[in-house]
Amino acid sequence: MRGKRIFVAAAFYTGCLTLSIHTYTEQLSQPVMEDYGRLLPVKIKKVQKMTEETELQKIIKEANASNEKISIAGMQHSQGGHTYYPGSTVLDMKGYNKILEFHPKQKIIRVQSGATWNDIQRVINPYGLALQVMQSQNIFTVGGSLSVNVHGRDIRHDAFIDTVQSFRLLMADGSIQNISREEKPDLFYLVIGGYGLFGVVLDVTLRLTEDELYKKRTRVIDYKDYTSYFRKNVENDDRVRMHLARISVEPESFLQEMYVTDYMLAADQERRKRYSALKEDTNIVLPKFFLGLSRYSGWGKTMFWNIQKEYFERTDGSYETRNNAMRSDTAFMEYESPNRTEILQEYFVPINKFSVYIDSLYDVLEEEDLNVLNITVRYVKKNEDAVLSYAKQDMFALVFLINQGRSKSEIEKTEKVIQKMIDVTLQHDGSYYLPYYAYPSKQQLHQAYPRIEEFFMEKKKYDSKERFVNLFYKEYRE
């Protein structure tokens, strides 16, 4: 009897030991993933690359059989873990990047979702064509850009959704659907700006526009004059096709001085060919050096602001094609400090509230300790088509580049300031952009995105087993 008990105990012990060794080995072999924000390292199951649609279908089928979670990743420049989830299989879409169809006369292109803007620009530029809406940089994937519904320097189109004709979606049940405003419109408005939660965008058909030659006009102005400057000289002048502004972060002129760049249609479009070669890597040594200085001191910020301003003033009257204006370099922003990182925040505010909003923001930032390195300002035309749309009116979008520590206490400190900034933004009928770190509270999310509950309910309708997940969903849904 005693011998039997000892045998059972030994068998139980061996079983437990084997199980824990197995779990431990499995944990050790799990890769850790993080995005460009570097604030959310998480163990995932694996990264899966692919080049064929059939491979993607097989992955979904297998995930359904084994009940695995799936996340979808483009270039992973979103900063709130939107591309991964604990224990999930991450689909790395970068190799799924073919140009499938190009009809220059109709100004239409169909591309796989892992293609970057750069891949597309290389194909369409020789035909004198350009993208209608994209970010200022061309490093991002089409799938990642569609899933956050991007906006850029163009002021004559709305957000990205305006330029999408249709796309194909591989859904959680393994089916492939054609989606457009006419076919399955509900999915069209959910998936664009839907953060990869409804399935894998396979390929996208986009409307293109003419590549044009622009003459740059730059002005230094006071923030109080910005709205009237914009209304008079930009919005009401059809020749202005793109626009970008910056507002000072250096101590003396903090949130006061601005400079603007307008891209005016050049009178002589015949000259476009002379400027049409796509610009490649620019020299980043100086901007990288001055951005580096500005991270550590007020005088560094003053130096960087003055140099930037002078540089932009010198570009007044110079020419650039649309394609080249949409190829800005980000390499100078690369930052590899082990303890610190750089995050983005973006707030939208109605254009007629800009100067009172800046005053309120000033009050918050004067009291708080936040290392803001740069603020750019863009214009986003009203568009409420996407369920998670951010432009309820014509808005100015302020993009903040912020340097912060990576420790828990630094994250908490930044969260406190950012929540205050978002409160001020919401008080001015504004909104904020979702692809960044989940600093905003759930309540702020609901206020900025009143259709968020509908969005989550539709997600469960189309993906009842929550096959497609990411940390953004985990943070705000659970």
Ligand X SMILES: Cc1cc2nc3c(=O)[nH]c(=O)nc-3n(C[C@H](O)[C@H](O)[C@H](O)COP(=O)(O)OP(=O)(O)OC[C@H]3O[C@@H](n4cnc5c(N)ncnc54)[C@H](O)[C@@H]3O)c2cc1C
Q: Which residues bind ligand X (CB under 6 A)?
A: 36, 71-78, 82-83, 93, 113, 135-137, 140-141, 143-145, 147-148, 150-152, 195-196, 200-201, 330, 344, 435, 470
**Dihedral sign of CA atoms 107, 111, 116, 122 in order:** negative
Closer of 364 and 372 to ligand X (Cβ): 372
Closer of 161 and 365 to ligand X (Cβ): 161
Burial of 306 (0-12, 13-18, 19+ CB in 10 A): middle
Three-state DSSP at 395 gives: strand
Q: Cα separation of 194 and 305, whole Å?
A: 36
- Sequence letter at residue 459: K
Give CA angle at 296 (295, 300), nearest 5°: 80
Q: Are 365 and 255 in contact (CB under 8 A)?
A: yes
Residue 63 carries which DSSP code?
A: H
Closer of 232 and 382 to ligand X (Cβ): 382
Closest separation in Å from C-beta 399 to ligand X:
7
Closer of 198 and 266 to ligand X (Cβ): 198
Which two tokens mark 225?
A: 């004059």
Maximum Cα–Cα distance for the chain, whole Å?
A: 101
Q: How many CA atoms lie within 13 A of 37 on its CB side?
A: 23
Which residue lies nearest ligand X, judged by its C-beta? Answer: 144
Which two tokens mark 168?
A: 């194909």
Q: Cα separation of 353 and 345, whole Å?
A: 19
Closest separation in Å from C-beta 229 to ligand X:
21
Closer of 75 and 161 to ligand X (Cβ): 75
| Strand 46-49 with 89-92, pairing | parallel
Closer of 135 and 218 to ligand X (Cβ): 135
Closer of 272 and 378 to ligand X (Cβ): 378
Closest separation in Å from C-beta 92 to ligand X:
9
Closest separation in Å from C-beta 9 to ligand X:
49
Q: Cα separation of 256 and 206, whole Å?
A: 39
Closest separation in Å from C-beta 40 to ligand X:
12
Closest separation in Å from C-beta 400 to ligand X:
12
Torsion, CA 232, CA 237, CA 242, CA 247, rounded to 10:
-10
Closer of 266 and 469 to ligand X (Cβ): 469
Q: Are 397 and 418 in contact (CB under 8 A)?
A: no
Q: Are 262 and 217 in contact (CB under 8 A)?
A: yes
Closest separation in Å from C-beta 267 to ligand X:
28
Closest separation in Å from C-beta 435 to ligand X:
4
Closer of 77 and 322 to ligand X (Cβ): 77
Q: Cα separation of 438 and 244, whole Å?
A: 26
Which two tokens mark 244?
A: 């970008």
Closest separation in Å from C-beta 32 to ligand X:
17
Q: Cα separation of 51 and 434, whole Å?
A: 29
Closest separation in Å from C-beta 378 to ligand X:
7
Q: Are 452 and 445 in contact (CB under 8 A)?
A: yes
CB-CB neighbours of 460 under 10 Å: 12
Closer of 151 and 327 to ligand X (Cβ): 151
Q: Cα separation of 306 and 328, whole Å?
A: 20
